[in-house]
Amino acid sequence: MRKNQMRLWSLATVLTAVFAVQSCSSDDEDPIPAPTPVGIATNPADFKGEVRAGETVTLDATKVYTLTGAVAVKDGGKLIIPAGTRINATGGTSAYITVEQGGQIFANGTATNPVVFSSANATPGAWGGLVLCGRAPINKSIPATAEVGGAQYGGTNPADNSGSLTYVRIENAGAIFTADKEFNGLSLFGVGNATKIDNVSMINGSDDGIEFFGGTVNVSNIISVGNEDDAFDWTEGWNGTATNVYTKRRANGIGNRGIEADNNSNNNDANPRSNPTIKNATFIGANTGGETDGIKLRVGTHGTLDNIVLSGWATGFNFEHDATVTYFNGGNKITNVKFDNITKEASAKASDGSSVTVKANTYTVNATANGAGNGTATPSWAAGWAGI
């Protein structure tokens, strides 16, 4: 018995020492080793090309990557961009990043260390922006072709996963080539709801800040400031939720609407119909210059909007085309709206262009609505990372 007790005591002593060593080792704050560069990450001064099927390309947050041309993340490829990484574009609108169907991007920053996509030339339209293409439903013929990069999009998988964007800032992107070909800050083509988009800002762009082309992706904590076209745009059957949205036009009047919302211009009743939920949003505009509607809902879009602050617009809500006007007019689909410095709260037109009287219960007014969280002021959740 005594020998067995001694053996047990000795074993306990050894195990305690082992655990103590392991504990001390786990507490050491050893620096995370830099990833071994592969593929297009091997030359940060000339960042362009393809992330191929089966390839995972991880960038090094200690380096600045110069985007000199197009990057395409192919089906089965993964592009990982750690917190603190900066990508500066120099290639004009020939420089952009497209995540194709089946490809994935994981750009995950933090509130104090965001991922930044910018440009050497700090002017709108200095590069092409970020494009995600998924296999979620759209109301165009499948497959459709994205405006940027020629990638296909659309499908039958609402839970498609293109990766994640968290604490990401996109600066100086976008361009308008024709009425049917435009670069936005962030373009989401048929993106599915397994994709995570949270705490993303689009700053100082030449076209829309963010645009949804169908799909089911949900977004939260979205900033769109200083862009030269619409701040927040959807079309082609987007069915998702946007929570906490803050947008602002430039002080000089350049820019257009807070929201431009469409279903399908060729068939206003096309399915799946655009029918998103917008909750907790602030749209700050200008009474002159550009389009002066805070929110334009047209060509068959539906939707539900709640806790909305509209400030500085000639018209708060503009409803157009029968399929949209019939849905919203008197339907109480818009609730808790605060109008601040708005010339006219709402207007409506039928498809033939004739004026329609906006019914009293089309929207409800709430003078205490706080929109994105802080009324017309910058929301607290944008501090540090958003670039405003």
Parse the chain into domains and list their residue ranges: 43-382
CA 174, chain centre distance (Å): 14
Model pTM? Answer: 0.91
Query: pLDDT at position 21, please?
Result: 34
Q: Which residue, 365, 338, 360, is CA-closest to 348?
A: 360
Query: pLDDT at position 177, please?
Result: 63
Query: pLDDT at position 286, please?
Result: 80
Q: Which helix (H) or strand (E) holds 112?
A: none
- Indicate the DSSP class of residue 229: S
> Is the CB of residue 218 less than 8 Å from the CB of residue 193?
yes
Q: How many residues does the chain have?
A: 388
Q: Which residue, 248, 298, 255, is CA-closest to 273?
A: 298
Structure tokens at 120: 């050497």
The yes/no answer on whether domain 43-382 falls in CATH 3.30.70 is no
Query: pLDDT at position 180, please?
Result: 62
Query: pLDDT at position 63, please?
Result: 97
Query: pLDDT at position 178, please?
Result: 60
State pLDDT tens for residues 64-84.
Answer: 999 999 999 999 999 999 999
Query: pLDDT at position 32, please?
Result: 61
Task: Return the ∠ at Cα 208 (arms to 318 and 303), rounded to 5°.
Answer: 40
Structure tokens at 230: 């619409």
Cα distance between residue 107 and residue 201, in whole Å: 13
Helix (H, G, I), strand (E, B) or coil at 294: strand
Collect the ranges in the chain with pLDDT lower than 70. Answer: 1-32, 176-181
Q: Facing residues of 58 across strands? A: 80
Query: pLDDT at position 227, please?
Result: 94
Cα distance between residue 80 and residue 96, in whole Å: 16
Query: pLDDT at position 66, please?
Result: 98
- Indicate the DSSP class of residue 36: P
Please name the amino acid found at residue 192. Answer: G
Pairing mode, if any, of strands 186-189 and 210-213? parallel
State pLDDT tens for residues 156-180.
Answer: 999 999 999 999 999 999 876 666 6
Helix (H, G, I), strand (E, B) or coil at 251: coil
